A and B are shown apart, each in its own frame.
Chain A
Amino acid sequence: MSQNLITEEKVFEELKKAIVETLRVDESSITRESSLINDLGAESLDFLDINYRLEQAFGMKMARHFVLEHIEEMFGEGTAIDEDGRLTDKAIELLKIRFGNNMPELQPGMDMDEIPAMVTVQSMVQGVMDILNSLPAACASCGNSAWQSDDGIKIKCGSCGDSATFTNGDDLIKAWLTKVQEEKNIF
């Protein structure tokens, strides 16, 4: 269900905080369009650090694997990335559906190593919002629908006090891939 307790702006604020702590960059240098790698100097280990901070803040789990890995896991090795490390047409088609305007540079034949640089602050904010929006209608512990948030960051049950649980990022990607495949039959 789409939740309205945590705003996109709040997620952006928390993400900025995580980026500043991890990369020791000035907060004013972070915009929604900033590429984590190209503009802010992040490396793969830094992403995990940023993700961990977001997970601690919001009480959810970010995806451990990027959508390309999930494609190959689901539809077979070579379906997303060819032998030369280039993205297949089908992978591009799928990434365009997923990221659309957030990744305008996507084009068939591009090197897989170019993808991480396309991750922007905004695409990460969207990733967090997708997970937060997986909030179930009712609390798994007491069955009541009484979600609330005192600080606009953590959601808990107003009835029994338990923390909200969300679908983890990897499972969300898998569910999305399954749905898109059913609708468009790409692979």
Chain B
Amino acid sequence: MNILKDKVVLITGSSRGIGRAIAKKCALAGADIVVNYRKSGGSSQAQAEELCTEIEKMGRRALIVHADIAARDSVKGMFNEVNEKMGKLDHLILNAAKAPFKPLEKLFERELRQLVDTNYIGNIFCIQAALPMLEKTGGKIIFISSLGSRFYNQAYPLGSMKAAMESVIRDCAESLRTKNISVNAVCGGIVKTDSFKVLRQFWDNIDMLPAGLYVEPEEIADVVLFLCSEASRGITGQTIVVDKGLSNAICRTPGGEEVRGKKDNLINN
């Protein structure tokens, strides 16, 4: 399978989790990968370096770039480096995210600003900085969203940013259509990554979900791969939900009492 042969794909926040799975899938499909991570000197950097070694073993080029998408200069520096060292960019995968876990009404001003800085403004910085290269390649932009964009989730202010980004995706798809750049999103259900460990601490019943409703990072990555491929040429401005049917299985009991994550009330499992 070489559907991304010699393409260059940048994945923000790809040292761990979904980003990492996307990086590996794209490399397996023949792409050269730009691995981005934010925090230097810790476990992210170690995992990013390990990932680059894996990608190189697959016979693909891997460029590791340390950048915080919330900082404009940092973003500019990252895309300049991609241009210099990889010579082009075919696909931009907006995967990085960072958010506190508490209800919106409890966020302090600095937390609110960080939330918007990284998850909204930071993603748009990336789109802006990538455009000159994407225009040349007729590239694709894919945003990684989550069900928090449309459903309430305890202590999950990131959801509102995911919703905002899904509408950014719709708008950019239209405004960039004449430049032959397609823009889409993949909206994941409950994915067992490092971030799931956070979710698990704020969502007591989550372990009661049947195993079949969890999404593997590779299952998100496969859809990203499809959206990067020629096979998806008819799709733009869309958000594709990849949740093993979870969002269809969430229901309310006839009495009107809300039930979430309770095993007995989930259908088909």
User: Which residue of B43, B110, B198, B200 contacts A43 across the interface (Cβ within 8 Å)?
Assistant: B43
A85 sits at the interface (CB 8 A): yes
A77 to B101, CA, bound (A): 17
A-chain residues with CB within 8 Å of residue B42 when the two chains form the complex: 37, 41-43, 46
A-chain residues with CB within 8 Å of residue B106 when the two chains form the complex: 73
User: Which residue of B41, B101, B110, B197 contacts A64 across the interface (Cβ within 8 Å)?
Assistant: B101
Q: Are A48 and B198 in contact (CB under 8 A)?
A: yes
**B101, closest chain A residue (CB):** A64
Contacts A48-B198, A52-B201 given: A41-B43 contact, CB under 8 Å?
yes
B247 sits at the interface (CB 8 A): no
Interface positions, chain B 234-250, Cβ under 8 Å from A, are none
User: Which residue of A41, A45, A85 contacts B41 across the interface (Cβ within 8 Å)?
Assistant: A41
Q: Are B195 and A45 in contact (CB under 8 A)?
A: yes
**B102, closest chain A residue (CB):** A65
A72 sits at the interface (CB 8 A): yes
Interface size bucket, B side? 20 to 34
B194 sits at the interface (CB 8 A): yes
A46 to B202, CA, bound (A): 16
A-chain residues with CB within 8 Å of residue B102 when the two chains form the complex: 65
Contacts A23-B43, A64-B201 given: A45-B194 contact, CB under 8 Å?
yes
* In the complex, per-residue mask of B87-114: 1 if CB is within 8 Å of any chain A CB, else 0: 0000000000000011000101110000
Interface positions, chain A 75-102, Cβ under 8 Å from B, are 77, 81, 85
B-chain residues with CB within 8 Å of residue A49 when the two chains form the complex: 194, 197
A-chain residues with CB within 8 Å of residue B46 when the two chains form the complex: 41
A51 sits at the interface (CB 8 A): yes
A-chain residues with CB within 8 Å of residue B101 when the two chains form the complex: 64
B-chain residues with CB within 8 Å of residue A41 when the two chains form the complex: 41-43, 46
B5 sits at the interface (CB 8 A): no
A52 to B46, CA, bound (A): 22
A34 to B251, CA, bound (A): 47
Kindly provide the distance from the CB of B92 to the nearest chain A CB, expressed in whole angstroms: 24
B233 sits at the interface (CB 8 A): no
Q: Are B201 and A51 in contact (CB under 8 A)?
A: yes
B-chain residues with CB within 8 Å of residue A42 when the two chains form the complex: 42-43
Q: Are A43 and B44 in contact (CB under 8 A)?
A: yes
Q: Are A46 and B108 in contact (CB under 8 A)?
A: no
**A62, closest chain B residue (CB):** B201
B252 sits at the interface (CB 8 A): no
A46 to B42, CA, bound (A): 10
A43 to B40, CA, bound (A): 10
Contacts A64-B101, A72-B108 given: A48-B39 contact, CB under 8 Å?
no
A45 to B199, CA, bound (A): 11
B-chain residues with CB within 8 Å of residue A45 when the two chains form the complex: 16, 194-195, 197-198
Q: Are A43 and B39 in contact (CB under 8 A)?
A: yes
**A36, closest chain B residue (CB):** B42
Interface positions, chain A 22-54, Cβ under 8 Å from B, are 23, 37, 41-43, 45-46, 48-49, 51-52
A77 to B109, CA, bound (A): 8
A85 to B42, CA, bound (A): 22
Kindly provide the distance from the CB of B115 to the nearest chain A CB, expressed in whole angstroms: 14
Interface positions, chain B 38-75, Cβ under 8 Å from A, are 39, 41-44, 46
Q: Are A48 and B43 in contact (CB under 8 A)?
A: no
A51 to B44, CA, bound (A): 18
B-chain residues with CB within 8 Å of residue A48 when the two chains form the complex: 197-198, 201
List 12 A-B residue pairs with CB atoms under 8 Å apart, sorted by A's residue number.
A37-B42, A41-B42, A43-B39, A45-B16, A46-B43, A48-B198, A48-B201, A52-B200, A64-B202, A77-B109, A81-B108, A81-B110
Q: Which residues of B contact A (CB under 8 A)?
A: 16, 39, 41-44, 46, 101-102, 106, 108-110, 194-195, 197-198, 200-202
Shortest 9 CB-CB contacts between residues of A and residues of B? A43-B42, A41-B42, A45-B194, A49-B197, A48-B197, A48-B198, A41-B43, A77-B108, A43-B43
